[in-house]
């Protein structure tokens, strides 16, 4: 019988629990690459092999192989860091990576540009900061994010704790990570347990595809809960979390031109008590492990499993494995996605500064030395750092008397707290070129200049302070969650994007394709009249994503499986 | 003495008689002696024997003078001159034998009757590396006396360096101090040494030839000599005086965008079957100056509008080197006291640091004529690069690896003459004059089964590309191990894809790399050698030959020390050094450093 499983399944199967020949590959000093199969396994260890695509053209004639390097992503459940950790991570960026820290759309850090000969030392330096990278990527439960203002209420603290518990509970148990990177040394996990050499939850084939979990605290949907495989929504009574609504089956990625792939907003599956939450997470993962599609990798995520079996059947199987029923979802109300930029005071009177970080890139430029400023703030101590789900950073737990000093440090390095337009503060772009192997078009390096052009239009229309969510990705995989943006751009080819409109501001509704393969000139030509109309014709409090639907510009996408339906593309 | 004339009845035609009269008429006594011997022995050598009793006067041709020609050579110039001198010595009734200082025994040398020394100076006044031990012994307090040893010294150097011909000077003085008798005054020669060396050698040999060498004796001419002398150096067809015009067929900067390095792979193609070289040889390039610098130089002396002169300066003259001789000549020409003051004490050393000729002219403004300017300049010398290819793998081609030299000093961007001539001012299809400089002291072992360990940093990897290519072509089965060092892995891994191919095919057995700037601590090739010390000892035990190529100060010195430590194997450093010396003596440790 022929093996109809996807190639990754046999790679995992032969890998001896994620070892493969990674260690041997590191010893081959003549190449900056590792074996192709091992690149799939390396993801489970938190790293992607990449190459600098800007220079691909010149390398062969210079008798050089591709400019390989590695992206390393941290597992940072809850997104919290001490100032000591911040300083260590900053050191690593300067010593082994490209001098920048990249905050991600999944509330963690990644480093770019680490060459193979430094991979192991970088992993060890990260470990020395009491952080690891295992399961930051790969076909496992990845970094678990939670609402980013953990100090604003007790509920946020509960959310952060649940995120950490789920992350630790669903960690791969293989010893491969410690063996390869830490010379067998055990990393300090919050569970503090040694790792047995078997995978009781995942089995030898792990999950069919990546798996993403988040924890939200209404009314903020900063984690974009409907874009994720598994979500927990805090149900709060008198300040305490009394349980969690459980969502399943959200996801962003799709493939251009293949309508059996689509982004999908998650379904509400039920309600669980605080004590049940970790167990529920485990059972959802095991059902996906057993039911997920292992033949067609692009249909392997949980959202397609739910689409295939229906949420009722899925819930029934989860309940069977739990041995008890889930409760009916409790009422909740999200108001918004994105972050609230600026200062906010917590229940304990401490202050928290949510800092806008363009594209999540913590770096120094000649006029704006964000990296240096954050280093100084970390070195002063007395604060914590929280990475948000929107590539921004919270300087948390600031005493009232410290506020002025932090503002002075930031201002002294040219870092404004409330920068430019509300659109820019809500904009997200994925990394894309030159390091991401999937990118079809620019994203991080391009979106800021496009926003600048929008800002002229916004100023003319009087919309500078209106929050409109703009997101861009270099490929349809959806790292910056473009299908949940009121204005979404997805790269098709260099300089060309698909333009999507009509997502809900609170993250509950996907957008829809409005124009295909448009360049900048056409983007501006299409959006300028719409923004002007919005300024003039909107109802009180009406969001741009809702307006374009009411105005008949685009049809509402009511579910993932209608994402590709009811298209009415803009006239050429 | 009246002109001798051949009688009209001599057995030659009238034209030949006329010709012979001219030739014999201007010949020296020595030449006539030699000719007699030559003619007497000619038929015997050809086995004709038709002429009677020609051998008798040959036997009477003695006495002859024995001479030891001792050389110390870095790039091979002094060595080539020594062997050339040996060739012509017999014309002067001198029986010469050539000895390399690297192999010389000082006590033996002190006992010879006649000694000619051909010695070059390297870098900042140092002896050639392979001559260091001999030089030290000679300079030591316990050096043997040279009483009665008749000697002469030819010193090679480069006026670009302050201590021009320093080693030759010191050896000359030392031999005299030890009781030697200077027969001919020392000559000091710059990079354009060929003609001067030939004239000096002839004159020197004439002084050493027997007292009666001028009388009409017959010189013994050994017809088998040229074939029998195995250790003679064969002079290449293409030399700096007779270069080959080659075409640049490929030119690429091997360093990736963003590199701090600029290293060019240059391929030359030529239609010249006599242009041959072995891996390990050097290829000389006759460069041209940056025309912008030539224009600046001309302008500095008020000749900026003379386009013909600027072109000449660019093509033919050394316009960068600021030597004591030039400053001296400039001071005399202009009568300037401030320029003359530069020649006092260490004033010139201080002024010339990181300065070039153009700075002299721009600092001390004078208007010169073209003729005056050219008189101040020496010819533009060729530059040598280790060949990076095997002729067997690339017939009709020679490849070089050229590191671009650039720096800024005293408000001016400076450029290495030859490196930027190739990297910046040539393009594919251009013609360049090149020549061959064989290197007898750096090459593959004759036996293809012999393992080799190749150590090189930066452009020092060049000869190893030739080595491996050559071994592929000859089907050599010996194991090979490359240690390569540079700054950054991603952009500076010279010939990376080729090494990968050679590893895949087995032509290269192993590779270790050291990229100094990829991590906080500096890692150099010597660190990798030390990490692999056990295996290296194993390879050496299996007969491996070791090679080092690259920068002396930046690498080779440390590699030497590390290899000695590895060979010491826990014993003391002296034991390791002695073992390394043994390897050098037996030709198993070869260095091409600069």
Which residues on B lie below 8 Å from A26 (Cβ)?
Answer: none
Active site residue A475: yes
Active site residue A550: no
Q: Tens digits of per-residue pLDDT, A20-49?
A: 999 999 999 999 999 999 999 999 999 999
The predicted pLDDT at position B45 comes to: 58
Q: What is the 3-state secondary structure (H, E, C) of A217-244?
A: ECCECCCCHHHCCEEEEEEEECCEEEEE
The answer to whether B484 faces chain A, any CB pair under 8 Å, is: no
The predicted pLDDT at position B14 comes to: 73
**How many angstroms separate the CA atoms of B82 and B97, rounded?**
9
Q: Tens digits of per-residue pLDDT, A319-353?
A: 999 999 999 999 999 999 999 999 999 888 899 99
Among candidates B497, B511, B518 on the partner chain, residue whose Cβ is nearest the Cβ of A115 = B518
Give yes or no for a contact between A541 and A516, defined as CB atoms under 8 angstroms apart. no
Which pTM was predicted?
0.88
Among candidates A52, A63, A96 on the partner chain, residue whose Cβ is nearest the Cβ of B254 = A63
**How many angstroms separate the CA atoms of B126 and B128, rounded?**
6
Pick from A450-464, A552-566, B202-216, B341-355: least confident: B202-216
The predicted pLDDT at position B40 comes to: 62
Give yes or no for a contact between B144 and B136, defined as CB atoms under 8 angstroms apart. no
The predicted pLDDT at position B230 comes to: 44
Q: What is the 3-state secondary structure (H, E, C) of B313-358?
A: HHHHECCCCCCHHHHHHHHHHHCCHHHHHCCCCCHHHHHHCCCCHH
The answer to whether B493 faces chain A, any CB pair under 8 Å, is: yes
**Closest residue of chain A to B510, computed from CA coordinates:** A30
Q: At what angle do helices A520-537 and A447-461 cross, to 10 degrees?
A: 30
Which residues on A lie below 8 Å from B494 (Cβ)?
Answer: 63
**How many angstroms separate the CA atoms of A264 and A251, rounded?**
5
SS3 B93: coil
As to burial, measured by CB atoms within 10 angstroms (0-12 exposed, 13-18 middle, 19+ buried), residue B109 is: buried
Average pLDDT for consecutive 10-residue bins of chain B (594 residues)?
Answer: 59 75 71 68 57 44 83 92 92 91 93 96 89 94 95 94 92 96 95 93 90 50 43 81 96 97 98 96 98 97 95 97 94 96 93 94 97 96 97 98 96 96 97 96 96 97 98 97 98 98 98 97 98 98 97 91 94 91 94 92
The predicted pLDDT at position B397 comes to: 98
**Closest residue of chain B to A51, computed from CA coordinates:** B490
DSSP B3-35: PP---TTSSS-HHHHHHHHHHHHH--HHHHHHH
Mutate to test the interface with A, among B482, B490, B513 (most CBs of A within 10 A): B490
The predicted pLDDT at position B52 comes to: 46
SS3 A131: coil
Binding-face residues of B in 235-264 toward A, CB within 8 A: 252-258
Active site residue A137: no
The token duo for B50 is 């038709």
Cross-chain residue pair A29–B255, CB shorter than 8 Å: no
**CA dihedral in degrees (B100, B101, B103, B107; nearest 10)?**
120
**How many angstroms separate the CA atoms of B532 and A136, rounded?**
36
Q: Tens digits of per-residue pLDDT, A224-238?
A: 999 999 999 999 999
Please report the ipTM that was assigned to this predicted complex. 0.93
**How many angstroms separate the CA atoms of B289 and B420, rounded?**
9
Q: What's the whole-number mean pLDDT along residues A264-268?
A: 98
Choose between A3 and A516: higher pLDDT.
A516
The token duo for A255 is 């493939």
DSSP B401-465: EEEPPEEEETTEEEE-HHHHHHHTT--TT-EEEEEEE--TTS---SSTTS-EEEEEEGGGGHHHH
The predicted pLDDT at position B43 comes to: 61
DSSP B40-87: HHHHHHHT---STTTHHHHHTT---EEEEEEEE-SSSHHHHHHHHHHH
Cβ partners under 8 Å of residue B115, min gap 6: B67, B68, B70, B109, B149, B150, B151, B152, B175, B180
Helices and strands counted in chain A (H then E): 17, 20
Among candidates B256, B495, B513 on the partner chain, residue whose Cβ is nearest the Cβ of A59 = B256
Cross-chain residue pair A62–B498, CB shorter than 8 Å: no
> What are the φ and ψ backbone dihedral angles of A343, each rounded to 5 degrees?
-80, 145
Give yes or no for a contact between A149 and A350, defined as CB atoms under 8 angstroms apart. no
The predicted pLDDT at position A1 comes to: 55
Mutate to test the interface with A, among B428, B489, B520, B523 (most CBs of A within 10 A): B489
Cross-chain residue pair A30–B252, CB shorter than 8 Å: no
Does the pLDDT of residue A298 top 80, yes or no? yes
Cross-chain residue pair B255–A96, CB shorter than 8 Å: no
Contacts 24+ apart (CB under 8 A), A548-556: A548/A486, A548/A501, A548/A502, A549/A502, A553/A501, A553/A502, A553/A514, A554/A501, A554/A502, A554/A511, A554/A512, A554/A514, A555/A502, A555/A512, A556/A502, A556/A509, A556/A512
Cα-trace Rg, chain A: 23
The predicted pLDDT at position B64 comes to: 84
Query: What separation in angstroms does the CA of A269 have from each of A65, A232, A272, A276, A292?
Result: 49, 10, 10, 14, 17
The predicted pLDDT at position A335 comes to: 94
Residues of A with CB under 8 A from a CB of B: 29-32, 52, 54-55, 58-65, 67-69, 95-96, 115-118, 121
The token duo for B563 is 């290899």
The token duo for A463 is 């919309």
The predicted pLDDT at position A328 comes to: 98
Active site residue A130: no
SS3 B391: coil
Tell me which of A336, A430, A509, A543 is the catalytic residue. A430
Band (pLDDT 50/70/90 cuts) for residue A184 is confident
Active site residue A210: yes
Place of tokens 């969650």: A481
Helices and strands counted in chain B (H then E): 24, 19
The answer to whether B518 faces chain A, any CB pair under 8 Å, is: yes
Does the pLDDT of residue A469 top 90, yes or no? yes
Which residues on A lie below 8 Å from B255 (Cβ)?
Answer: 62
With b for 16 or more beta-carbon neighbours within 10 A and e for fewer, the A17-44 pattern comes to: bbbbbbeebbebbbbbbbbebbbbbbbb
The CA distance from A349 to the nearest CA of chain B, in Å, is: 43
Other Cβ atoms within 10 Å of B475 Cβ, number: 7
The predicted pLDDT at position A191 comes to: 53
Q: Tens digits of per-residue pLDDT, A372-422?
A: 999 999 999 999 999 999 999 999 999 999 999 999 999 999 999 876 899
The predicted pLDDT at position A154 comes to: 86
Distance, CA of A118 to chain centre:
25
């Amino acid at each position: 019988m022929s093996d109809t499983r996807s190639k990754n399944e046999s790679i995992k199967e032969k890998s001896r629990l994620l070892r493969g020949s990674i260690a041997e590959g590191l010893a081959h000093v003549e190449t900056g690459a590792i074996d192709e199969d091992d690149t799939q396994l390396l993801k489970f260890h938190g790293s992607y092999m990449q190459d600098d695509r800007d220079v691909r053209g010149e390398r062969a004639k210079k008798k050089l192989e591709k400019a390989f390097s590695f992206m390393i992503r941290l597992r940072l459940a809850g997104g919290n860091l001490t100032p000591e950790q911040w300083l260590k991570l900053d050191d690593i960026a300067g010593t082994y990576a490209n001098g920048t820290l990249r905050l991600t759309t999944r509330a963690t850090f990644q480093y770019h540009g680490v060459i193979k000969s430094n991979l192991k030392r970088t992993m060890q330096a990260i470990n020395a900061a009491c952080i690891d990278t295992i399961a930051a990527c790969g076909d496992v439960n990845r970094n678990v994010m939670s609402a980013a203002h953990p100090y604003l209420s007790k509920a946020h603290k509960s959310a952060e704790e649940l995120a950490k518990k789920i992350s630790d509970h669903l960690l791969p148990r293989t010893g491969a990570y410690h063996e390869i990177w830490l010379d067998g040394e055990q990393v300090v996990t919050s569970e503090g347990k040694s790792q047995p050499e078997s995978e009781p939850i995942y089995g030898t084939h792990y999950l069919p595809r990546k798996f993403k979990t988040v924890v939200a605290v209404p009314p903020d949907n900063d984690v974009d809960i409907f874009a994720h495989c598994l979500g927990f929504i805090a149900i709060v009574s008198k300040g305490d979390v009394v349980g969690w609504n459980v969502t399943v089956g959200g996801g962003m990625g799709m493939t251009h031109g293949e309508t059996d792939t689509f982004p999908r907003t998650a379904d509400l599956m039920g309600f669980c008590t605080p004590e049940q939450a970790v167990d529920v997470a485990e059972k959802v993962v095991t059902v996906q492990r057993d039911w997920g599609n292992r033949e067609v990798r692009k249909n392997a995520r949980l959202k397609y499993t739910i689409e295939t079996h229906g949420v009722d059947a899925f819930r029934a199987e989860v309940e069977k494995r739990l041995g008890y029923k889930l409760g009916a979802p409790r009422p909740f109300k999200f108001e918004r996605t994105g972050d609230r930029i600026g200062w906010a005071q917590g229940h304990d009177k401490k202050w928290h500064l949510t800092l806008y970080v363009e594209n999540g890139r913590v770096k120094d430029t000649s006029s704006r030395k964000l990296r240096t400023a954050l280093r100084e703030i970390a070195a002063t101590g007395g604060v914590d750092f929280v990475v948000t789900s929107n590539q921004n950073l919270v300087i948390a737990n600031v005493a009232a008397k410290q506020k002025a000093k932090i503002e002075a440090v930031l201002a002294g390095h040219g870092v404004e707290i409330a920068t430019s337009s509300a659109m820019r503060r809500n904009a997200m772009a994925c990394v894309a070129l030159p390091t991401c192997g999937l990118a079809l078009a620019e994203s991080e390096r391009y979106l800021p200049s496009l926003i600048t052009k929008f800002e002229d239009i916004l100023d003319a229309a009087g919309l500078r302070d209106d929050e409109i969510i703009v997101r861009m990705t270099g490929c349809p995989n959806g790292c910056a969650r473009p299908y949940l943006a009121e204005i979404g751009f997805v790269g098709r080819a260099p300089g060309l994007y698909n333009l999507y409109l009509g997502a809900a501001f609170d993250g509950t509704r996907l957008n829809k394709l409005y124009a295909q393969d448009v360049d900048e000139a056409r983007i501006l030509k299409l959006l300028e009249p719409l923004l002007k109309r919005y300024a003039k014709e909107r109802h009180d409090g009406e969001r741009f994503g809702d307006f374009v639907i009411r105005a008949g510009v685009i049809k509402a996408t009511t579910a993932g499986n209608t994402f590709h339906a009811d298209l009415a593309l803009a006239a050429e | 003495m009246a002109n001798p004339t051949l009688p009209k009845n001599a057995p030659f035609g009238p034209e030949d008689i006329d010709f012979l009269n001219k030739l014999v008429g201007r010949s020296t006594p020595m030449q006539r002696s030699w000719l007699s011997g030559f003619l007497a022995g000619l038929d015997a050598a050809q086995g004709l024997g038709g002429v009677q009793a020609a051998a008798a006067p040959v036997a009477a041709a003695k006495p002859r003078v024995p001479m030891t020609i001792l050389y110390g050579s870095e790039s091979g110039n002094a060595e080539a001159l020594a062997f050339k001198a040996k060739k012509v010595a017999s014309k002067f009734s001198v029986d010469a034998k050539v000895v390399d200082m690297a192999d010389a025994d000082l006590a033996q040398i002190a006992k010879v009757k006649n000694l000619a020394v051909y010695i070059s100076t390297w870098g900042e006044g140092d002896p050639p590396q392979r001559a260091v031990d001999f030089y030290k012994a000679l300079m030591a307090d316990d050096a043997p006396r040279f009483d009665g040893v008749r000697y002469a010294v030819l010193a090679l150097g480069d006026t670009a360096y302050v201590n021009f011909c320093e080693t030759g000077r010191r050896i000359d003085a030392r031999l005299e101090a030890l009781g030697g008798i200077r027969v001919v005054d020392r000559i000091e020669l710059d990079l354009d040494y060929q003609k001067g060396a030939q004239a000096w050698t002839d004159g020197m040999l004439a002084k050493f030839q027997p007292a009666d060498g001028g009388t009409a004796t017959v010189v013994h001419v050994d017809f088998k000599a040229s074939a029998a002398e195995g250790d003679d150096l064969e002079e290449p067809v293409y030399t700096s005086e007779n270069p080959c015009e080659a075409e640049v067929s490929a030119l690429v900067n091997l360093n990736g965008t963003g590199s701090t390095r600029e290293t060019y792979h240059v391929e030359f193609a030529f239609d010249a079957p006599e242009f041959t070289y072995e891996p390990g040889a050097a290829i000389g390039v006759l460069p041209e100056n940056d025309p912008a610098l030539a224009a600046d130089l001309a302008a500095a002396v008020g000749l900026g509008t003379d386009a013909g002169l600027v072109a000449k300066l660019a093509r033919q003259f050394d316009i960068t080197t600021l030597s004591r001789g030039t400053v001296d000549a400039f001071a005399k020409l202009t009568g300037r006291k401030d320029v003359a003051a530069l020649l006092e004490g260490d004033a010139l050393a201080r002024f010339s640091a990181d300065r070039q000729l153009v700075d002299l002219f721009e600092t001390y403004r004078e208007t010169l004529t073209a003729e005056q300017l050219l008189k101040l300049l020496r010819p533009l010398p060729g530059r040598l690069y280790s060949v990076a290819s095997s002729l067997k793998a690339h017939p009709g081609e020679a490849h070089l690896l050229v590191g671009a030299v650039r720096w800024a000093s005293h408000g001016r961007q400076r450029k290495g003459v030859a490196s930027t001539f190739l990297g910046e001012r040539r393009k594919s299809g251009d013609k360049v004059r090149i020549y061959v400089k064989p290197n007898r002291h750096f090459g593959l072992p004759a036996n293809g089964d012999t393992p080799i360990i190749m150590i090189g940093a930066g452009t020092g990897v060049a000869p190893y590309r030739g080595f491996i290519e050559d071994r592929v072509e000859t089907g050599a089965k010996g194991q090979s191990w490359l240690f390569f060092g540079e700054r950054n892995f991603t952009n500076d891994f010279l010939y990376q894809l080729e090494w990968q191919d050679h590893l895949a095919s087995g032509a290269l057995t192993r590779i270790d790399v050291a990229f100094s700037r990829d991590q906080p601590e500096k890692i150099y090739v010597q660190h990798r050698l030390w990490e692999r010390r056990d295996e290296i000892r194993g390879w050496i035990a299996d007969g491996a030959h070791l090679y080092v190529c690259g920068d002396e100060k930046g690498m080779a010195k440390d590699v030497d020390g590390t290899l000695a430590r590895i060979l010491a194997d826990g014993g003391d450093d002296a034991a390791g050094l002695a073992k390394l010396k043994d390897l050098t003596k037996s030709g198993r440790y070869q260095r091409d450093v600069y």
